[in-house]
Amino acid sequence: MIVRGTTRIFGIFGDPVAHSLSPLMQNEALSRAGIDGIYVPFHVAPAVLEQAVASLRALDIAGVNVTIPHKEAVCQYLDFVDPEAQLIGAVNTIVNRDGVLCGYNTDGKGLLRSLAEDLEFTPRGKRVLLLGAGGACRAALVALARGGAAWIGIANRTPARAAALAEEFRTSLGGTPLASFSLAAEDLCALAEIDLLVNTSALGLKGESFPELPWSSFNPGARVYDMVYTRSGTPLLHAARDRGNSAADGLGMLAGQGEESFALWTGTPPPSGVMKGRLLAEFTER
């Protein structure tokens, strides 16, 4: 990679950020697309987030991704926040348009891309159950509802959080019926009728399982999507595949949201499959 005075700078703000796989896939895509650009990680502590955002103008940085823990807090420092990102309450992509900082959320679109590519699943007319009630759940909820899901349930260890989330979105996503559940086996009666189960929580990242899930009542034709990705596969994926259900992890979503960000920054989509291919190669090499 040759860096010139004309090279456009992209990056990612996070704390921590050293583990991020985004530089690998974004730099691969920039190179393959023939774009004079470089993507770098920026370790940004919460206390200096406002200054970091202001630096995008000062240093003429073309755009950045935003990851944990800044996705919600960053909204207040931007000049414009896309309506969908406003609804989700979080931004994961900032575009610097001649000093005007515009925020977007590409997580939901990344999820839909991955569901289509990895599980041949489209949400229109389907019933979906989401595990977790945090920021990732919000992005998934909006994307799936706007994609035409017939019903969405939210299950969480703290039922009140799931109920509050369903209530919050019931009006804005009025076309899709919403329901809330605890993770207790006796409450997850919806598993018998769903078409898709999505883990939006971080559970599984360290090998944790979902012992409460009543797999015996699970729809045998349903697909399972785990936003968590590990080199060996998560317990949820293993459990689903052992029972014959189609399942995929969040690597495709990571690539999908990155492709959407790339298009916002450059005005053109990245070469097809390049980002996911680079991620898969990284997992294979180690």
276 is catalytic: no
pLDDT in tens, 90-119: 999 999 999 999 999 999 999 999 999 999
Residues forming CATH 3.40.50.10860 domain(s) in the chain: 8-105+252-285
pLDDT in tens, 127-165: 999 999 988 999 999 999 999 999 999 999 899 999 999
Q: What is the CATH number of domain 8-105+252-285?
A: 3.40.50.10860
Residues forming CATH 3.40.50.720 domain(s) in the chain: 108-249
Mean pLDDT of all residues in the chain? 93
Q: What is the CATH number of domain 108-249?
A: 3.40.50.720
Q: How confident is the model at residue 285, as a pLDDT?
A: 65
| Out of 16-20, 101-105, 173-177, least confident range | 173-177
Q: How many helices (H) and strands (E) does the chain have?
A: 9, 12
Catalytic residue, from 71, 109, 126, 276: name it: 71
Calculate helix-pair angle for 135-146, 107-119, nearest 10 degrees.
70
Helices (H), the chain: 22-32, 49-58, 83-88, 107-119, 135-146, 159-172, 235-242, 251-266, 274-285
